[in-house]
């Protein structure tokens, strides 16, 4: 048909809900005077600070990615014969969020070598593979990233937060991996 369809992605409501309590906190600490300036600051400028904070950054990224996926699936459901390309664009803070999403996009694991899939999870004691470990942590999408850098389970426990950050692993998954590393070290020290 040759038409262009724009589907806006709303991430703002995910951050500014009653469950996060952000808006209540903002109302409590801002002065009631100069309402237009206060409204502009609370509704626009503070989102930049929220995005740079570890507490809310992942919430915003997850909301954007989830909404983009939802809209794409809805579009395909309504247009089952569509085989064209999809372009994404962002404005202001949205362009930064989009940049972060695209640069940290997970690589698809196209093939998995047979030797890794044939190993049993706990065959011979602690013979769990990196792939098995990542599946257990619900992080199997990062297997390709780690294998690309020749990181196996033994090397993973030597990684620091900065190492994982350089690999483009987002904060949430990075914390799960770091927690695993911490548990492994304490297990080795204690046993």
Residues annotated as part of the active site:
92
Residues with Cβ within 8 Å of 153's Cβ and at least 6 positions away in sequence, in order, are 128, 129, 130, 133
Distance between CA atoms of 16 and 51, rounded to whole angstroms?
A: 13
C-alpha neighbours within 13 Å on the C-beta side of residue 114: 0
Burial 120-137 (b: 16+ CB within 10 A, else e): eeeeeeeebbbbbbbeee
Distance between CA atoms of 29 and 41, rounded to whole angstroms?
A: 12
Under 8 Å between Cβ of 65 and 74: no
C-beta pairs of 55-61 under 8 Å, 24+ apart in sequence: 56/15, 56/20, 56/22, 57/171, 58/170, 58/171, 58/172, 59/14, 59/15, 59/20, 60/11, 60/14, 60/15, 60/97, 61/97, 61/100, 61/101, 61/170
């Amino acid at each position: 048909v040759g038409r262009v369809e724009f589907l806006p992605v709303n991430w703002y409501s995910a951050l500014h809900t009653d469950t996060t309590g952000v808006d209540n906190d903002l109302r409590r600490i801002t002065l009631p005077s100069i309402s237009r300036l206060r409204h502009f600051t609370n509704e626009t400028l503070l989102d930049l600070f929220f995005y740079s904070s570890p507490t809310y950054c992942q919430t915003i990224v997850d909301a954007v990615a989830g909404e983009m996926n939802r809209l794409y699936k809805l579009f395909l459901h309504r247009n089952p014969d569509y085989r064209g390309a999809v372009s994404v664009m962002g404005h202001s803070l949205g362009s930064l969020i989009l940049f972060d999403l695209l640069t940290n996009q997970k690589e698809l694991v196209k093939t998995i070598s047979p030797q890794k899939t044939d190993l049993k999870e706990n065959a011979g004691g602690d013979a769990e593979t990196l792939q098995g470990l990542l599946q257990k942590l619900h992080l199997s999408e990062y297997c390709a990233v780690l294998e690309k850098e020749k990181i196996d389970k033994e090397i993973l426990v030597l990684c620091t937060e900065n190492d994982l950050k350089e690999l483009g692993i987002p904060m949430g998954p990075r914390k799960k991996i770091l927690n695993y590393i911490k548990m492994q070290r304490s297990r080795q020290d204690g046993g």
